[in-house]
Amino acid sequence: MNELIPLMVIVPMMAALLLSAFSKFNKVIKCLALVVGICLPIIPLASNYGLHFFGGYQPIMDNVTNVIYHPAITYSFDFMQQIFIAMIGLLTFLVIFIYLTKYKKASGSYLFLLFMGTAAVTALILTDDIFHMFVFFEILALAQVGIVAASSIDYSYEMALKYMILGAIGSPMMLLGIGFLLAMTGTVNVTDIVSIIRGGLLDVTSPVFLLSLGLIFFGWLYASGLPPFHTIKSGIYSKAEPHGAALLQSFTVISMISIVLIMFRIYSTLPIFEVLVVFFSVVAMILGVSMALTQTDFRRMIGFLAVGELGFIGLGIGLGTQYALTAGLFQALNEIVITALLFIGFGAIVHATNEVDTRKLGGLLAYHPKVGIMLLAGGLAMAGVPPLSGFQSKLMLVQASLSCGYPELSILAIMVSIATFVVFVKTFYSMFLSPKPHDLEVVDNEVPKAMVFAMAVLLIVIIALGIFPDVVTSGISNYVGGLLP
């Protein structure tokens, strides 16, 4: 059943091309998008774990050194990939469902961007080839720009253009770093590069090797929206349609963990790699949450909170132990679900009020109690309140940093969680509990049912992961054990 592994990328990519080609036939593209959306979470769940070698080029054994080389572009599919691809598939389905029910006339080009983005992140998390990773990183960046530019929100073009211009710095730097790595090792296969490094065939203190780390690391900062790219990342979330923003943030999280895991495998022999990851994660946590505290536009506020939460993921990866890496990846999974719920929920409020300023809102609990309660649960999950999923992953991260001998990081993580809680309580009070302003008109009393359905599905996942974290963490822990030297 390993034939299903490449299909995880090919199916959304083919769907994207077909939707774009047949965009004039509204009913056809709506049906196709829905069917493919349903298939996306099913394919990874039906597939067996294993490797896929494109072109059928099997690994070659060097009889002299007993080292195995991989001439093909290789996809590696394990529990970690399965759970993340299934989750991104579920989220893509929900976003497509919301989009198709919202607009009578579907845009083939917009659906193309959504599916192409999904195909790109799926390839990113599957690939064992660093150049292949770069190609899909570029495709993903362009899809993200397109999703933002296609939204009907004011200044979305401007923000998309700024993101693309900054990408023009981040992407070439990453490519240059990959080029240095290729020049030193003669291969772009990550497993082969790791074998060369562990076999002592490469001087890891060489300036060129260190420079390649710096350049790829900078590209990773751009992909993941860690400082100095946190402002633009939160900006593009706030200028995209709410369902688009829900998908964009999941793209960011997946690209963040895919690239950092490849970097971890190659550069974990250098202690400075972990120092850098922890440093930028701490800065992201501090800047993200402090900026969120001062926002009055709730879409921007969630954007900054999402950036701050990325810091937690980086913290887990940077600490570098099996438990910390598991906690970081579990946090990544939780963030995908929780932030998607918040973006969709706040999108429902924008739909009902046409207002994004928390100071001009109030009394919405009486109009939209279901949305309010589900948003409250999502916000509490993000702040790390038990028994929701965010609590489990943040507790693991606090324990991991304590056991690594960094109590300062534990204190910081707790402080950031408390500040996140403050942000959310402040916003929830302003929007739902404070008296309704006289001039506020609730335009549409009915929140789209598709949005409520999507929020309910995501909330079930949050509660399930909070009560039964072992379902995911044990599998991730086994996967992480295989990555460590």
- Residues near another protein (CB under 8 A) are 159, 162, 165-166, 169-170, 173, 205, 207, 210-211, 213-215, 217-218, 221-222, 227-232, 235, 270-272, 275-276, 282, 285-287, 289-291, 293-294, 296-297, 357-360, 406, 408-409, 411-412, 415-416, 419, 422-423, 426, 429-430
Residue (of 277, 67, 79) closest to 191 by Cα position: 67
> CB of 353: closest distance to another protein in angstroms?
15
Residues 6+ away with beta carbon under 8 Å from 474: none
> CB of 109: closest distance to another protein in angstroms?
26
> Between β-strands 74-77 and 67-69, what pairing exists: parallel, antiparallel or unpaired?
unpaired
> CB of 285: closest distance to another protein in angstroms?
8
DSSP letters, 71-87, are: -S-EEEE-HHHHHHHHH
* Residues 84 and 123: beta-carbon distance below 8 Å: no
CA dihedral 38, 44, 47, 53 (to 10 degrees): 120
> CB of 124: closest distance to another protein in angstroms?
22
Q: In terms of CB distance, is 173 or 371 closer to another protein?
A: 173
* Residues 160 and 145: beta-carbon distance below 8 Å: yes
> CB of 205: closest distance to another protein in angstroms?
4
> CB of 318: closest distance to another protein in angstroms?
12
* Residues 81 and 125: beta-carbon distance below 8 Å: yes
Q: In terms of CB distance, is 194 or 416 closer to another protein?
A: 416
Radius of gyration of the chain (CA): 22
In whole angstroms, how far apart are CA 68 and each of 75, 129, 178?
Answer: 16, 15, 21
> CB of 136: closest distance to another protein in angstroms?
22
> CB of 290: closest distance to another protein in angstroms?
4
Q: In terms of CB distance, is 31 or 201 closer to another protein?
A: 201
CA distance 237 to 298: 11
DSSP letters, 201-216, are: -S-TT-HHHHHHHHHH
Q: Is the peptide bond before 228 cis (omega within 30 degrees of 0)?
A: yes
Q: How many CA atoms lie within 13 A of 204 on its CB side?
A: 16
Q: What is the largest CA-CA distance in the chain?
A: 82
Q: In terms of CB distance, is 41 or 328 closer to another protein?
A: 328
Q: In terms of CB distance, is 296 or 474 closer to another protein?
A: 296
Q: In terms of CB distance, is 358 or 473 closer to another protein?
A: 358
285 burial type by CB count under 10 A (0-12 exposed, 13-18 middle, 19+ buried): buried
* Residues 338 and 306: beta-carbon distance below 8 Å: no
> CB of 228: closest distance to another protein in angstroms?
4
Q: In terms of CB distance, is 11 or 159 closer to another protein?
A: 159
Q: In terms of CB distance, is 34 or 210 closer to another protein?
A: 210
> CB of 429: closest distance to another protein in angstroms?
7
Q: In terms of CB distance, is 73 or 153 closer to another protein?
A: 153
Q: In terms of CB distance, is 357 or 470 closer to another protein?
A: 357
CA distance 302 to 242: 11
